[in-house]
Amino acid sequence: MDEALDGDLGALVDRIPEGWSRVMIDGQSWAVTRTTHAQGGALSLDIERLGTAERFGANVWITSQGPVLRPCEVPEEMILRFLRSAAAADH
Burial readout 49-76 (b: 16 or more C-beta within 10 A, e: otherwise): eeeeeeebbbbbebeeeebebebeeeee
**DSSP 8-state secondary structure symbol assigned to residue 33:** E
Confidence of residue 18 (pLDDT cuts 50, 70, 90): very high
Quote the percentage of the chain above a pLDDT of 70. 90
pLDDT of residue 89 exceeding 90: no
pLDDT of residue 34 exceeding 60: yes
Phi, psi of 54 (to 5 degrees): -75, 120
Q: Which residues pair with 43 in a beta bridge?
A: 36, 60
